[in-house]
Amino acid sequence: MGSRASTLLREEEIEEIKKETGFSHSQITRLYSRFTSLDKGENGTLSREDFQRIPELAINPLGDRIINAFFPEGEDQVNFRGFMRTLAHFRPIEDNEKNKDPTASEPLNSRTNKLLFAFRLYDLDRDDKISRDELLQVLRMMVGLNMFVSQVLRMMVGLNMFVSQVLRMMVGVNISDEQLGSIADRTIQEADQNGDNSISFNEFIKVLEKVDVEQKMSIRFLH
* Contact set for other proteins, span 23-82 (CB under 8 A): 31, 34, 37-38, 51, 54, 56-57, 59-63, 66, 70
Interface with other proteins in residues 163-202 (CB under 8 A):
174-179, 181-183, 185-192, 195-199
- Residue type for 164, please? S
CA gap 46, 54 in Å, rounded: 12
Q: Which is nearer to other proteins, 100 or 186 (CB)?
A: 186
Nearest by Cα to 89 from 64, 117, 70:
117
Partners of 143 in the beta sheet?
none
Burial 87-115 (b: 16+ CB within 10 A, else e): bbbebebeeeeeeeeeeeeebbbbbeebb
* Residue 77 backbone dihedrals phi, psi, to 5 degrees: -125, 150
Q: Which is nearer to other proteins, 56 or 73 (CB)?
A: 56
17, 139, 155, 166: which one contacts other proteins (CB under 8 A)?
A: 139
Residue 102 lies near other proteins (rule: CB under 8 A) = no
Partners of 198 in the beta sheet?
131
Contacts of 208 (CB under 8 A, 6+ apart): 115
Identify the three-state secondary structure at position 186. Answer: helix
145, 152, 156, 205: which one contacts other proteins (CB under 8 A)?
A: 145
Residue 215 lies near other proteins (rule: CB under 8 A) = yes
Please give the size of the binding site for other proteins, defined by CB under 8 A.
75
26, 43, 112, 146: which one contacts other proteins (CB under 8 A)?
A: 146
Identify the three-state secondary structure at position 79. Answer: strand
Binding pattern to other proteins, positions 103-122, x when CB under 8 A? ---------------x--x-
Tell me how far, at minimum, the Cβ of 35 lies from other proteins, in Å.
9
Q: Which is nearer to other proteins, 12 or 146 (CB)?
A: 146
Q: Are 126 and 132 in contact (CB under 8 A)?
A: no
Tell me how far, at minimum, the Cβ of 171 lies from other proteins, in Å.
10
Q: Which is nearer to other proteins, 103 or 212 (CB)?
A: 212
